[in-house]
Structure 1
Amino acid sequence: MATKSRPNILCVWGDDIGVANLSCYTNGIMGYKTPNIDRVAKEGLMFTDAYAEQSCTAGRATFITGQNPYRTGLTKVGMPGAPIGLRPEDPTIAQALRHHGYATGQFGKNHLATCTT
């Protein structure tokens, strides 16, 4: 029995990076050359229209949970030991993808904290 293949999903999230910093969006006219990202973009899907939150913490929390920052309480840059953070019951994109057979991982900083209260 053949298994149904699923597409690979790669989300690159960077601090203080704009569309003009990636040559796949500007064809290099801004002076930046990002050939490896360009290759991945050419082979996959590129987002061209999006909204962003005012801080990296709020943006990451929104992407990871699909929830508005006011629902998670993560509206500013998260700090270790803060009384707010993701709760165990908050859904995540990783949980949804694992339910469909994906292996997931997240690397680097996230500022999301974990609410233990």
Structure 2
Amino acid sequence: MGYVQSYRDLDVYKLAKTLSANIFELTKRFPKEETYSLTDQVRRSSRSVGAQIAEAWGKRRYEKHFISKLTDADGEQQETQHWIETARDCSYLADEDAVTLIEKYTQLGKMIGSMINKYTSFCGKRN
């Protein structure tokens, strides 16, 4: 693995961005009456994961801020899982799509957790 120069180089960020795009495409099929509720909620939380990872990267000089932002990212991915389950329960998502997304978000959560546990690899003084 080469040196990471930007949050865009992080596999965890790339996965978050891909999943957010997947959520966007799948929610296009949600009923119109969900536009300002479930559709907005799941899109917002899925997009927030990558944004929180990007913010964590920007604050990595400060361990507590880095961990806090990654904790927020983990909370957003868990919220997204909740909305995926809600969409499945409402029959807006097929079981297979919901299961696949939840598995991928679980993997994303593990990656975020690993970054939190290995914060010293990311944090510290930079020139």
Q: TM-score, with normalisation over the residues of structure 1?
A: 0.27
Structure number with the higher helix fraction is 2
Q: TM-score, with normalisation over the residues of structure 2?
A: 0.26
Q: Which has the larger radius of gyration?
A: 1
